């Protein structure tokens, strides 16, 4: 919606589309100066941290899944791991593998959804993935099929793809049977090739020239492409243990948003999380095919163009199918589905790599296994400050455009981050006010 | 009385519906219409016969089935199947949307028939409430077509209000063809000249009744049938001469799915037409 | 075929999982886009067309005054309104606040709760406007969603089963976790639709499709207690994704009473029946 | 009587498999003994038994290696002849309109391994329901025709068993091809049909010795003595049907969850519903039949609402159908005394107690 008059121009994008959740953006422009950029997440607050207090610890995975229907595994996994840390529970290597496998399923489902249905339409001026499918029927259908296999994996491991039910503190409620997983192998074999083709396709998209030297933050693990554990590192050299996360990052409330915003301390610096950060920091640990394709498409590391996040996603999809395939092939159910443990009082934290970036949980459990305190830092709240800063950077260059073009440009930029707004425990609309 | 039980075994898919095409639709009253249909397969059409009181399962694929009684003359074969349908829910509302030339599925006929043979040579009182007149119409047509085979035939018909009287125009012609007709409504309108009140009252007051030479056949809401049966008994009509058709949920219509049970009876197979004494006690039990 | 029905997907307080269910129908998505005209679906398309709509799928519960206004407008623009999921149908997990001190809840999450305008309650869509059909579940089931869409395309009234979770559980051959392992399970009092997943994964049903028809909750919770759960935990067991459904809400309040820790329903909800019916009348003018 | 060495049981399995029988039998899964596909003797629940009481089932280790040393579990054989979910019709719409088509009934040959006396009786009850009236259920008939039944005599009973009251067990009387009684090292085998005899001849079973027959008999006797639960069946039909307003119906309704577990575990319950599954444009439709239950609110739905609108009337329907009106309908009781509904009721409602409470004389009619 555009209201303009000479004295004052206001641009609203009342609902930011093709993002999960809802939010809005307000841009205040004074002549040629961008006065303020406010990414407002008006997802009605759902107050998860408060709801968890007093609940049995087994509820946490089921409850936090409901923060976001797009990446429930990220919430569940971070929650159960933090609780395991709180109560001193360790899981077997087999369980850890299954958990990586499950996370691969979510990366696939979420990345492929974002790439094909939400993000790619931007590069071809389409309104939706469905419209894009008229232009690129084979590519979109291929994407949908890959997504289906990601979801199918989640269905086998979790019972259903959205809010799965199987992940438990100490492991799983039930281990999958070997045949259940083995049945997915042919689909994953197809999908790995499809993912490679897809990466080559998206690598040729017309990317705007936009370069920012970000502070990339991601998990890092000595032996593998980090997903569910490791240390938190930054492109500027920071390297910290997960337990120390809160000493380096702070969440702040801003008046215009129901989501909290994260900054690095000291200095209130914004930072960048997500696939681009991960690939930039750990390219060498991607699966062999993902690395080969990165080479083939001439992927520069580090890559400072946020629009190319879609390529980083594509590389991660290759990785997820390839690593997934390996686990599917080698899987033999062994040991207990769920490690036995004593419920006890404790403090525990965990960080994992949600599809759209770092996610942090901290819990305090009581001796009765009830939750005393919960803290959840989702990826979108971490990228939010960075998005505002990007907009500040981009806007002066395009101020001469029509308001609706500006609005479109801003939305595109925001979509690079695949912001999952419902998960900022929290909605987007764009408003440009010129005075 | 014919029951499907007397037939030889049928080992065919009981769910198999045959395509019928709608040839005519007559809007009767609000939310009720009469459909005339024909089996698309002419063999099926020619082989099809039914008895007054029997019903078909009408099928709208993707929506479901409904049990609907025949409401046309029993002399017709499968080239002219007539059903009068009240639109009350998912399936019947979907039927309401069909037009002449549209197709749906039909399987049948199922269930027991009105005791036409027993009525021969005797007086017949036909008691109907609301849409309940539809399943009785084939019997009435039979009486009219073979008028001399039967004694006095009286139709006692009640509806909620004058606009809801089914087959209102036809009723006049029936009178000409030897049917005595008394009509009552629950709620009269200004123009209404007839009786007001419930159907059993008509039976209470019916003149010239010969209790031992009469068969009573009835169809309508269960309470109405209950009180009408009591009235008939009060008028000394033996229970063995009272017949009623009842409704239960039906899925298979051949006694395999369990839905239509009323105590020991399967309504689809041993009914829908019962002799009163066979189910009298069952109908008295609340929620049975 | 007659004109394609127009479809709007709208969101209130929720996790997006229920609308995602539509995008997760990978095999059917493009067919859905043929069968209906998707005129408003912000999560999937930038083309947002104004009403009126033939069918509105509504996700999420009402937690802010602004959302309530948006909903009233949507209802006025929509012929057939379907709530999708536990949030829209029963207030969702966020309806736990209905039983808690809201100010304290807000303070524990936000340093400056005064920045945020939000209702102290989370209420289902039916508390505000007339709902034509409800799809249960947290999240909804893909097959049920597609069935409803297919029904609406065909012009049939949609229908979903009201049987208990135990029935698909038995049909799929799962061994009852209550009987064989004494695991607490809400299956017997929960409406089916999910496919009875939880027991098939060796855990009890946690009631995400909400109460079944005429659930016998006192008998159910008595069993939970006799199988070793304490009264307060039994109350908590009912207080999850459908906590504000009348049946679960009523029983959990009864249990808290017994446990000696009565909960206080938010005062505005005590008269909700009132505002509800008057609201529906207002909508029908 | 013949004797089969324990190690030769596999030969029986192999022989059946070689003649295209799909073997289904007991195996340990999900902490219970369920019926599922089996191939080898090793798949059987060797050394396992079960302990049952109202609302409770526990798998327990035995101190021997018996293969059939358990009673019965949550599954019943009906799932093979009367599948929980099956297609009955398909329809397709083209320019002319709808074409309805029979769903082909796949011929299935199941060999049931380990069916008990009460279960054989239950199969006989369902034979009566599905195959003896005017309309025969073609799916049931086809699958029933192909059955080969290796029965096993119970040598122990659960606390929930009452086959002796219902006159169905524990000894297998008829309706089997072979009936085994398990001894420590083998089985005493009784032949119940020409097909059974054929396999005995083909695999060359030897005659059982008098001593073997004797120990088989004493093993079977153990089961008889272990059965403690009783139903007074004398006059049960009239008693139940004359007490339809007994206060006990309200009492049981306070406990009953109306969850339908009892009907779905029951080996004789046969109620079903059909529903359509369609594609999005409603051009391809499959009609599916699924197990339904009289405990469902919608089960008795007619346009004015359900006939049985309360748990009280639904429980009453179930119990009076099983124990009374079944006799009118099919000339036999609908209950074979297997006790599944007692064990698998999540709140432990025990029909034998309900019957006792209702039938003891508080005659209110
Ligand atoms: C033997 C018999 C003869 C009948 N004859 C006629 C007739 O001539 N004309 C007429 O208008 N109606 C007749 N009915 C009633 C008619 O079957 C129902 O009104 C119709 O099935 C309602 O279905 P629905 O889907 O439109 O309604 P809904 O209320 O949406 O019903 C849902 C489902 O419930 C079942 N159901 C609902 N009501 C009934 C019912 N009364 N009987 C059986 N199953 C039901 C059906 O399976 C139906 O699909 C007869 C019923 C029976 C049993
Ligand atoms: S496991 Fe739960 S859902 Fe399944 S039968 Fe038992 S009580 Fe019902
Ligand atoms: S009623 Fe109960 S005891 Fe009788 S056969 Fe059925 S499940 Fe077994
Ligand atoms: S008797 Fe038991 S198993 Fe049967 S419906 Fe009632 S509670 Fe469920």
Token pair 């209110």 in the structure block, residue = D364
What is the per-residue burial (b if ≥16 Cβ within 10 Å, else e) of A367-379? Answer: eebbbeebbbbbb
The HSE-up count of residue D339 (CA atoms within 13 Å, CB side) is 29
Most confident of A67-71, B35-39, C107-111: B35-39
**Residue D35 CB coordination number (10 Å):** 24
Q: Give A405's pLDDT tier (boundaries 50, 70, 90).
A: confident
pLDDT over 60 (residue A44) = no
- Indicate which ligand has the atom closest to the C-alpha of D262: 4
In this structure, the residue with its CA closest to atom 3 of ligand 4 is D345
Q: Give A378's pLDDT tier (boundaries 50, 70, 90).
A: confident
- Rg for chain A, CA atoms, rounded: 21
Give the contacts of C276 (CB within 8 A, at least 6 positions apart).
C126, C127, C128
pLDDT in tens, D204-213: 999 999 999 9
* D351 φ/ψ angles, rounded to the nearest 5 degrees: -60, -30
Alpha carbon distance A38, A387 (integer Å): 10
| Chain pair B-C, CB pairs under 8 angstroms | 18
The answer to which of A135-139, A304-308, C264-268 has the lowest mean pLDDT is C264-268
Write down the pLDDT at residue C114. 57
Write down the pLDDT at residue D282. 86
pLDDT over 90 (residue C104) = no
Q: Give C111's pLDDT tier (boundaries 50, 70, 90).
A: low
Shortest Cα distance, chain D CAs vs residue B147, angstroms = 34
pLDDT over 50 (residue C135) = yes
Q: Is D192 helix (H, G, I), strand (E, B) or coil?
A: coil
Alpha carbon distance B112, B4 (integer Å): 7
Q: Is D262 in the pocket of ligand 4 (CB under 6 A)?
A: yes
Atom index in ligand 1 nearest the CA of residue D302 equals: 38
Closest CA to C212 of C245, C172, C164: C164
Alpha carbon distance C87, C127 (integer Å): 12
Burial of A397 (0-12, 13-18, 19+ CB in 10 A): exposed
Please check whether residue A282 is in contact with residue A232, taking contact to mean a CB–CB distance below 8 angstroms. no
Tell me the two tokens of residue C31: 């067919």
Q: In A88-208, where does DSSP find H-type helix?
A: 93-113, 120-123, 129-135, 137-158, 178-182, 185-203
Classify the phi-psi angles of C95: left when phi > 0, otherwise alpha if psi is within -120 to 50, otherwise beta. alpha
pLDDT in tens, D142-171: 999 999 999 999 999 999 999 999 999 899
Alpha carbon distance A33, D118 (integer Å): 87
Write down the pLDDT at residue C275. 37
Share of chain A above pLDDT 90, in %: 63
Asked if B90's CB is within 8 angstroms of C157's CB, the reply is yes
Write down the pLDDT at residue D133. 86
| Chain pair C-D, CB pairs under 8 angstroms | 133
pLDDT over 70 (residue C113) = no
Tell me the two tokens of residue B280: 């009298």
Task: Read off the pTM.
Answer: 0.92
Write down the pLDDT at residue B213. 95
Please check whether residue C251 is in contact with residue C238, taking contact to mean a CB–CB distance below 8 angstroms. yes
Shortest Cα distance, chain D CAs vs residue B269, angstroms = 9
Write down the pLDDT at residue A363. 96
Write down the pLDDT at residue A128. 87
Classify the phi-psi angles of D260: left when phi > 0, otherwise alpha if psi is within -120 to 50, otherwise beta. left
List all chains that touch chain C, counting a touch as 3 or more CB pairs closer than 8 Å: A, B, D
Alpha carbon distance A52, A63 (integer Å): 8
> What's the ipTM?
0.92
What is the separation of C-alpha D319 from the centre of its chain, rounded to a whole number of angstroms?
17
- Calculate the alpha carbon distances from B76 to B50, B79, B114, B166, C256 in Å: 8, 7, 17, 21, 68
Whether residue D286 lies within 8 A of chain B, CB to CB, comes out as no
Write down the pLDDT at residue A138. 95
pLDDT in tens, D59-82: 999 999 999 999 999 999 999 999
Asked if C44's CB is within 8 angstroms of A18's CB, the reply is yes
Closest CA to A20 of C60, C86, C93, C33: C60
Closest CA to B194 of B183, B180, B206, B205: B183
Tell me the two tokens of residue A406: 């500006």
Q: Give A23's pLDDT tier (boundaries 50, 70, 90).
A: low
Higher-scoring residue by pLDDT: A27, D271:
D271
Q: Where are the beta strands (DSSP E) in D119-167?
A: 148-152
Shortest Cα distance, chain C CAs vs residue B140, angstroms = 35
Q: Is C88 helix (H, G, I), strand (E, B) or coil?
A: helix
Q: Is D94 helix (H, G, I), strand (E, B) or coil?
A: strand
pLDDT in tens, A294-352: 999 999 989 999 999 999 999 999 999 999 999 999 999 988 999 999 999 999 999 99
Write down the pLDDT at residue B4. 38
Share of chain D above pLDDT 70, in %: 99
pLDDT over 60 (residue C36) = yes
Show which of residues 54-93 on chain D sit within 8 Å of chain B, judged by CB atoms.
88-89, 91, 93
Q: Give A422's pLDDT tier (boundaries 50, 70, 90).
A: very low
pLDDT over 60 (residue A260) = yes
Show which of residues 146-205 on chain D sit within 8 Å of chain C, judged by CB atoms.
none
- Rg for chain D, CA atoms, rounded: 22
Closest CA to C148 of C24, C32, C61, C59: C32
D-B interface (Cβ pairs under 8 Å ≥ 3) = yes
Asked if C105's CB is within 8 angstroms of A69's CB, the reply is no
Return mean pLDDT, chain A. Answer: 87
CA nearest C191 in D: which residue? Answer: D259
Asked if C156's CB is within 8 angstroms of B93's CB, the reply is yes
Q: Is B246 in the pocket of ligand 1 (CB under 6 A)?
A: no
Tell me the average pLDDT across A402-413.
Answer: 81
Tell me the average pLDDT across D9-31.
Answer: 96
Write down the pLDDT at residue A261. 75
> How wide is the angle at C-alpha C263 spanned by C-alphas C259 and C269, nearest 5°?
145
Tell me the two tokens of residue A78: 């971070």
Alpha carbon distance D20, D110 (integer Å): 9
Share of chain D above pLDDT 90, in %: 91
Return mean pLDDT, chain D. Answer: 95
Tell me the average pLDDT across A261-270.
Answer: 80
Local confidence pLDDT in tens for the 288 residues of chain B:
233 344 456 678 889 999 999 999 999 999 999 999 999 999 999 999 999 999 999 999 999 999 999 999 998 899 999 999 999 999 999 999 999 999 999 999 999 999 999 999 999 999 999 999 999 999 999 999 999 999 999 999 999 999 999 999 899 999 999 999 999 999 888 888 889 999 999 999 999 999 999 999 999 999 999 999 999 999 999 999 999 999 999 999 999 999 999 999 999 999 999 999 999 999 989 899
pLDDT over 90 (residue D362) = no
Angle, helices C217-226 vs C246-258, to 10°: value is 50
- Calculate the alpha carbon distances from B274 to A407, B32, B112, B245, B247 in Å: 74, 26, 8, 6, 11
Alpha carbon distance A21, A69 (integer Å): 10
- Calculate the alpha carbon distances from D65 to A258, D41, D72 in Å: 65, 12, 17
Q: Give A43's pLDDT tier (boundaries 50, 70, 90).
A: low
Length of chain B: 288
Return mean pLDDT, chain C. Answer: 88
Write down the pLDDT at residue A235. 93
pLDDT over 90 (residue A420) = no
Tell me the average pLDDT across A187-194.
Answer: 98
Tell me the two tokens of residue B255: 């006694």
H or E element in which residue A58 lies: none
Give the contacts of D247 (CB within 8 A, at least 6 positions apart).
D362
Write down the pLDDT at residue B255. 92
Tell me the average pLDDT across A75-85.
Answer: 97
Q: Give A402's pLDDT tier (boundaries 50, 70, 90).
A: confident
**Residue B51 CB coordination number (10 Å):** 19
Please check whether residue C42 is in contact with residue A97, taking contact to mean a CB–CB distance below 8 angstroms. no
């Amino acid at each position: 919606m555009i209201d303009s008059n000479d004295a004052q121009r206001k641009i609203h994008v009342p609902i930011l589309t093709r993002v999960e959740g809802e939010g809005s953006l307000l841009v205040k422009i004074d002549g040629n100066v961008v006065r303020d950029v406010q990414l407002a997440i008006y997802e009605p607050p759902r107050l998860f941290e408060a709801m968890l207090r007093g609940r049995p610890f087994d509820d946490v995975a089921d409850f936090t899944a409901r923060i976001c229907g797009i990446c429930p595994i990220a919430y569940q996994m971070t929650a159960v791991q933090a609780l395991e840390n709180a109560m001193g529970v360790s899981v077997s290597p087999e369980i850890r593998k299954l958990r990586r496998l499950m996370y691969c399923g979510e990366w696939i489902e979420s990345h492929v959804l974002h790439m094909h249905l939400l993000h790619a339409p931007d590069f071809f001026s389409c309104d939706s993935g469905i419209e894009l499918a008229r232009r690129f029927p084979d590519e979109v259908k291929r994407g949908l099929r890959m997504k289906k296999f990601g979801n199918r994996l989640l269905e086998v491991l979790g019972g259903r793809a959205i809010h799965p039910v199987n992940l438990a503190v100490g492991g799983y409620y039930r281990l999958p049977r070997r045949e259940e997983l083995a049945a997915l192998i042919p689909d994953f074999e197809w999908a790995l090739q499809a993912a490679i083709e897809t990466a080559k396709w998206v690598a040729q998209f017309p990317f705007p020239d936009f370069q920012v030297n970000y502070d990339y933050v991601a998990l890092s693990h000595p032996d593998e492409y980090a997903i569910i554990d490791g240390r938190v590192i930054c492109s500027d050299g920071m390297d910290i243990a997960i337990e120390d996360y809160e000493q380096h990052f702070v969440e702040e409330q801003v008046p215009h948003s129901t989501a909290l915003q994260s900054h690095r301390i000291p200095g209130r610096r914004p930072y960048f999380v997500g696939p681009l950060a991960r690939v930039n920091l750990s390219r060498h640990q991607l699966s062999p095919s993902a690395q080969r394709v990165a080479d083939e498409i001439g992927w520069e590391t580090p890559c400072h163009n946020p629009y190319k996040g879609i390529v980083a996603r594509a590389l991660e999809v290759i990785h997820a199918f390839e690593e997934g395939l390996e686990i599917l092939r080698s899987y033999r159910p062994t040991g207990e589905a769920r490690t036995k443990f004593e419920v006890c009082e404790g403090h525990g934290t965990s960080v994992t790599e949600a599809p759209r970036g770092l996610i942090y949980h901290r819990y305090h459990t009581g001796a009765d296994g009830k939750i005393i305190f919960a803290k959840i830092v989702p990826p979108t709240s971490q990228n939010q400050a960075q998005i505002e800063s990007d907009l500040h950077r981009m806007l002066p260059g395009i101020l001469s455009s029509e308001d609706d073009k500006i609005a479109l440009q801003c939305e595109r930029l925001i979509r690079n981050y695949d912001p999952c707004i419902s998960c900022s425990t929290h909605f987007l609309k764009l408003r440009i006010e010129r005075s | 009385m014919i029951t499907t039980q007397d037939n030889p075994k049928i080992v065919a898919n009981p769910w198999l519906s045959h395509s019928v095409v709608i040839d005519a639709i007559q809007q009767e009253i609000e939310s009720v219409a009469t459909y005339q249909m024909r089996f698309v397969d002419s063999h099926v059409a020619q082989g099809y016969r039914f008895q007054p009181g029997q019903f078909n399962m009408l099928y709208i694929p993707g929506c479901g089935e409904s049990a609907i009684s025949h409401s046309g003359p029993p002399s017709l074969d499968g080239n002219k199947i007539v059903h009068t349908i009240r639109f009350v829910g998912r399936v019947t509302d979907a039927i309401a949307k069909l037009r002449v030339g549209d197709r749906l599925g039909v399987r049948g006929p199922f269930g027991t028939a009105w005791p036409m043979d027993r009525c021969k040579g005797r007086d017949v009182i036909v008691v109907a409430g609301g849409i309940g007149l539809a399943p009785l119409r084939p019997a009435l047509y039979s009486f009219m077509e073979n008028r001399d085979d039967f004694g006095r035939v009286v139709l006692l018909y009640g509806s909620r209000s004058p606009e809801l009287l089914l087959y209102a125009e036809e009723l006049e012609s029936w009178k000409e063809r030897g049917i005595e007709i008394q009509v009552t409504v629950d709620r009269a309108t200004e123009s209404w000249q007839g009786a007001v009140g419930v159907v059993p009252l008509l039976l209470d007051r019916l003149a010239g009744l010969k209790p031992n030479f009469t068969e009573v056949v009835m169809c309508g809401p269960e309470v109405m049938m209950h009180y009408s049966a009591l009235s008939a008994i009060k008028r000394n009509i033996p229970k063995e001469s009272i017949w009623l058709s009842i409704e239960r949920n039906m899925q298979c219509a051949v006694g395999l799915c369990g839905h239509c049970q009323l105590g020991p009876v399967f309504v689809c197979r041993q009914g829908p037409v019962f002799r009163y004494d066979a189910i009298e006690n069952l109908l008295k039990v609340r929620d049975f | 075929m007659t004109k394609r029905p127009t479809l709007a997907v709208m969101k209130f307080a929720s996790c997006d999982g229920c609308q995602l269910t539509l995008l997760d129908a990978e095999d059917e998505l493009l067919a859905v886009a043929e069968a209906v005209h998707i005129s408003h679906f912000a999560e999937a398309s930038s083309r947002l067309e104004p009403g009126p709509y033939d069918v509105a799928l509504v996700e999420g519960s009402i937690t802010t005054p602004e959302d309530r206004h948006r909903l009233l407008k949507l209802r006025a623009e929509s012929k057939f309104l379907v709530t999708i999921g536990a949030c829209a149908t029963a207030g969702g997990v966020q309806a736990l606040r209905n039983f808690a001190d809201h100010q304290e809840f807000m303070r524990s999450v936000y340093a400056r709760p005064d920045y945020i305008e939000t209702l102290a309650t989370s209420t289902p869509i039916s508390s505000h406007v007339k709902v034509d059909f409800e799809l249960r579940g947290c999240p909804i089931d893909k097959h049920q969603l597609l069935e409803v869409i297919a029904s609406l395309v065909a012009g049939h009234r949609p229908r979903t089963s009201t049987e208990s979770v135990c029935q698909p559980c038995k049909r799929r051959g799962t061994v009852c976790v209550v009987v064989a392992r004494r695991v607490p399970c809400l299956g017997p009092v929960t409406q089916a639709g999910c496919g009875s997943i939880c027991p098939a994964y060796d855990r009890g049903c946690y009631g995400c499709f909400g109460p079944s028809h005429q659930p016998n909750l006192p008998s159910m919770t008595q069993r939970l207690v006799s199988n070793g759960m304490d009264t307060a935990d039994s109350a908590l067991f009912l207080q999850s994704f459908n906590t504000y459904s009348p049946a679960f809400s009523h029983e959990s309040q009864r249990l808290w009473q017994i446990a000696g820790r009565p909960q206080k329903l938010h005062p505005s909800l005590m008269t909700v029946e009132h505002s509800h019916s008057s609201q529906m009348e207002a909508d029908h003018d | 009587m013949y004797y089969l060495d324990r190690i030769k049981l596999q030969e029986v399995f192999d022989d059946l498999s070689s003649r295209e029988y799909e073997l289904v039998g007991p195996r340990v899964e999900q902490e219970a003994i369920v019926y599922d596909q089996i191939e080898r003797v090793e798949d059987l629940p060797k050394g396992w038994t079960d302990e049952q009481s109202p609302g409770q089932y526990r798998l327990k280790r035995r101190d021997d290696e018996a293969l059939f040393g358990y009673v019965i579990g949550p599954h019943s054989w009906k799932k093979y002849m009367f599948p929980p979910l099956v297609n009955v019709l398909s329809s397709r719409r083209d320019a002319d309109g709808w074409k309805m088509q029979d769903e082909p009934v796949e011929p299935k040959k199941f060999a049931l391994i380990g069916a008990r006396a009460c279960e054989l009786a239950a199969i006989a009850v369902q034979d009566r329901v599905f195959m003896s009236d005017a309309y025969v259920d073609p799916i049931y008939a086809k699958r029933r025709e192909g059955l080969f039944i290796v029965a096993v005599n119970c040598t122990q009973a659960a606390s929930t068993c009452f086959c002796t009251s219902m006159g169905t067990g524990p000894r297998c009387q008829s309706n089997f091809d072979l009936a085994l009684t398990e001894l420590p090292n083998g089985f005493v085998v009784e032949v119940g049909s020409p097909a059974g005899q054929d396999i005995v001849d083909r695999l060359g079973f030897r005659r059982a010795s008098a001593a073997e027959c004797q120990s088989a008999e004493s093993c079977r006797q153990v089961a008889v003595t272990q059965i403690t639960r009783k139903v007074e069946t004398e006059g049960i039909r009239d008693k139940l049907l004359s007490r339809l307003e007994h206060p006990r119906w309200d009492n049981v309704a306070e406990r009953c969850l109306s969850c339908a577990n009892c009907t779905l575990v029951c080996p004789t319950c046969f109620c079903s519903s059909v529903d359509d599954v369609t594609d999005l444009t409603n051009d391809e439709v499959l009609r599916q039949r699924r197990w339904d239950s009289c405990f469902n609110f919608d089960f008795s739905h007619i346009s004015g609402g359900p006939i049985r609108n309360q748990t009280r009337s639904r429980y009453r329907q179930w119990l009076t159908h099983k124990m009374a009106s079944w006799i009118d309908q099919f000339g036999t009781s609908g209950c074979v005394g297997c006790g599944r509904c007692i064990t698998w009721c999540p709140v432990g409602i025990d029909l034998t107690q309900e019957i006792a409470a209702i039938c003891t004389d508080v005659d209110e009619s």
